[in-house]
Amino acid sequence: MAAAGRVLVYGGRGALGSQCVQYFKSRNWWVASIDLAENEEASASVVVRATESFTEQAEQVTAEIGKLLGEEKVDAILCVAGGWAGGSAKAKSLYKNCDLMWKQSVWTSTISSHLATKHLKEGGLLTLTGAQAALSGTPGMVGYGMAKGAVHQLCQSLAGANSGLPSGSAAVAILPVTLDTPANRKSMPDADFSSWTSLEFIADFDEQYSGVLSRMSPSYSAYFGYLKLSVLLPRLFSQLRCSVGRTMG
């Protein structure tokens, strides 16, 4: 049976990435995972070598994805890699945490964006992972807010004309408040979990809008903004916001 579609999941071994891999595989998609460790459930895996050099890591991933895909194109690239670290500008861990957040969010988003210019189909979907908290100041988590703010800006740039993305493709940044992961439940045991964004919801969003966004009118090429999902999914109105950009290439 032919695959329903083809998708790259950057961060495919993490909590959200693993859910995305499982979700797309269950719907007969060909799925490639990109992460620091192999995801055995994926159709293929690219294992990222840990390094202190962004250019080394970017070149390694770009080369291995090129070998894996050859001339084949993918319908979607989902960058769901990331993490969290707190701390104000006074924190002893500031430098370490800023470095970690930049690597986990900005490195991965930048590499995913370049991969999209080479391997995404026309009318395809690129999803990056931002954060609603980074729409304003984050004094208690400086590194996290700075990195996620950079992801938001990257998405805006990708939505513009001549960004390098394939014609008719869409760049989307999901901005969850809190993801419902085991780690977050452990760190915030008294929180209202029902108000958090489920991993299944994001995986479903990515699959559904890899089709919906590719059929949107090209007149969206100049559009960028924050789209509340209450317009689309009323019962989930408080869970997620996303930035939607459309490009003509």
Judge contact between 1 and 24, C-beta under 8 A.
Answer: no
For residue 194, give every residue at least 6 positions away whose Cβ sits within 8 Å of its Cβ, in sequence order, or none.
none
Kindly name the residue from 10, 23, 144, 209 that is annotated as catalytic.
Answer: 144
Judge contact between 88 and 140, C-beta under 8 A.
Answer: yes
Distance CA 243, CA 234 (A): 17
Judge contact between 179 and 15, C-beta under 8 A.
Answer: yes
Q: In this structure, what are the phi and psi dihedrals at residue 121, rounded to the nearest 5 degrees?
A: -65, 155
- Please spell the DSSP secondary structure of 157-196, one letter per residue: HHTSTTSSPPTT-EEEEEEES-B--HHHHHH-TTS-GGGS
Judge contact between 24 and 31, C-beta under 8 A.
Answer: yes
For residue 91, give every residue at least 6 positions away whose Cβ sits within 8 Å of its Cβ, in sequence order, or none.
97, 142
Q: At what angle do helices 142-158 and 108-119 cross, to 10 degrees?
A: 20
3-state secondary structure (DSSP) of residue 7: strand
Residue given tokens 């004094």 in the structure block: 139
User: Does 144 participate in catalysis according to the annotation?
Assistant: yes
Distance CA 149, CA 135 (A): 7
Catalytic positions: 144
